[in-house]
Amino acid sequence: MKQSPALWAISALAAAILTACGGTVAQQQASPVAQAVSTVAATAENLRTPQVQQQAVAPALYELAYSARQNAVFVASAGGFGEGAASSKVLRLNPQTLAVEAEIALPHRSFGVVLDDAANRLYVGNSLEGSITVLDTRSHAIVATVPMVTPTQKDDGKTSFEHHFRELVLDTANHRLFAPGLSSKDSALYVLDTQNLKLEKVIPGLGQVATGVAFDAKGQRLFVSNLRGGLYEIDTRSLSIRQSHAVQADQLLNLALDAQGQRLFATDQGLDAISERRKKAEPEFQPTPGNRVVVFNPDTAAITASIPTGNGPIALLLDEPRHRLFVTNRGAGTVTVFDSRDYRLLHTIELPAHPNSLALDAAHNVLYVTVKNGRDAARGSAESVARIAF
């Protein structure tokens, strides 16, 4: 394949640096020159045109995870509503072809997932039923379904749950799973003991509609964001709120932590419908720009950068070794790729209608994306997974 001039120049520079250092990168790993080679190689890699393939899989796809141990992609399908609707399941996909290799039926509708690859476990958030289902990724058996939210009976006799789960994160060293439970009144953090598969604690006080979550293992803290400009830091030793901040970014949907560079990334969605509803409730409210990624100092919650994205950014994923930040833009129908060092736009990848969630096979430099249907799609029709090879 013919190289672009920029890519050719970077490749030539890498070769020149290798010649100057008189050996291979492996032989010179500790030297500044070798580090420069690594940076040049990563830059060259980021300039290549991504190769995209896409496959319709099942209705109502949400989050997904790549398992290096099982060499598989696991994706949650919430199924449908009403008589004759598709049931909820987790699907195992071939990571090269995206063909369905197995289907795991679930007792409740599945949305968020998080993988503990070393333990061969996939945790699935049953958002509307207030529980978490645990799967064995080898046998595809359900290990347990753990009730987390206490149900209440409404006047019409139907069961409801005060909180709904969206994102899940793991603290594998301390055998915990953290699940923000969003609510239009007062959100809370649910803590699951993953050894005993029991609810350990519920931490209230996270404001309205808590959505994003990121874990800092070294700092033993958890960050949670909400759609009212709230950012919270939780001590994962005492399981208590350490700090809360009101920040100049309204719709902090998803979070990603750069543990090395001490930066916290957040998608600030900027949906007009959310802003209009808030204006009615709070006449003095003035929305922030949205359609961007906001970069915070995680210690102070000060905004250090604002990165314009496509319309309606949803998920973000940081690839620290390759200095890349991936963002799905639901409204724009794109995935944007930024250099995480200087925030330059590297790629805009078209994935209509609505790119949603992300997973990375770091070893093979492949990104997986769930793509949701547009309004013109037939009700209950299959949504797709895209494979983007860099």
pLDDT tier, 43 (very low <50, low <70, confident <90, very high otherwise): low
pLDDT tier, 84 (very low <50, low <70, confident <90, very high otherwise): confident
Give the percent of the chain with pLDDT over 70: 88
Per residue in 85-142, pLDDT (tens digit) is: 789 999 999 999 999 999 999 999 999 999 999 999 999 999 999 999 999 999 999 9
What's the pLDDT at 42? 55
What's the pLDDT at 21? 35
What's the pLDDT at 236? 98
255 pLDDT exceeds 90? yes
Give the C-alpha separation, 382 to 290, whole Å. 30
For the segment 284-311, the average pLDDT, to the nearest whole number, is 96
Q: What is the DSSP letter of 150?
A: P
Q: Tally Cβ neighbours within 10 Å of residue 24.
A: 11
What's the pLDDT at 29? 42
**To 5 degrees, how large is the angle CA 104–CA 211–CA 80?**
35
pLDDT tier, 227 (very low <50, low <70, confident <90, very high otherwise): very high
Per residue in 349-368, pLDDT (tens digit) is: 999 999 999 999 999 999 99
Q: Tally Cβ neighbours within 10 Å of residue 213.
A: 25
Residue 197 in tokens: 């598969």
For the segment 286-302, the average pLDDT, to the nearest whole number, is 96
Residue 207 class from Cβ within 10 Å (0-12 exposed, 13-18 middle, 19+ buried)?
Answer: buried
| Cα 349 off chain centre by | 18
| Cα 6 off chain centre by | 31
The per-residue pLDDT of the chain, averaged, comes to 90
2 pLDDT exceeds 60? no
For the segment 28-51, the average pLDDT, to the nearest whole number, is 59
pLDDT tier, 80 (very low <50, low <70, confident <90, very high otherwise): confident
Give the C-alpha separation, 45 to 390, whole Å. 7
Give the C-alpha separation, 143 to 198, whole Å. 13
Q: Tell whether the torsion through CA atoms of 251, 214, 235 and 321 is positive or negative.
A: negative
Q: Scanning the structure block, which residue is given the tokens 């949603």?
A: 356
For the segment 69-89, the average pLDDT, to the nearest whole number, is 90
Give the C-alpha separation, 30 to 42, whole Å. 17
pTM, to two decimals: 0.88
5 pLDDT exceeds 90? no
CA distances from 42 to 38, 47, 319, 365, 390 (A): 6, 9, 11, 11, 11
For the segment 39-55, the average pLDDT, to the nearest whole number, is 76
What's the pLDDT at 24? 31
What's the pLDDT at 225? 98
Q: Which residues pair with 114 in a beta bridge?
A: 123
8 pLDDT exceeds 50? no
Residue 140 class from Cβ within 10 Å (0-12 exposed, 13-18 middle, 19+ buried)?
Answer: middle
For the segment 339-346, the average pLDDT, to the nearest whole number, is 98
1 pLDDT exceeds 50? no
7 pLDDT exceeds 60? no
Per residue in 147-200, pLDDT (tens digit) is: 999 999 888 878 899 999 999 999 999 999 999 999 999 999 999 999 999 999
For the segment 203-219, the average pLDDT, to the nearest whole number, is 97
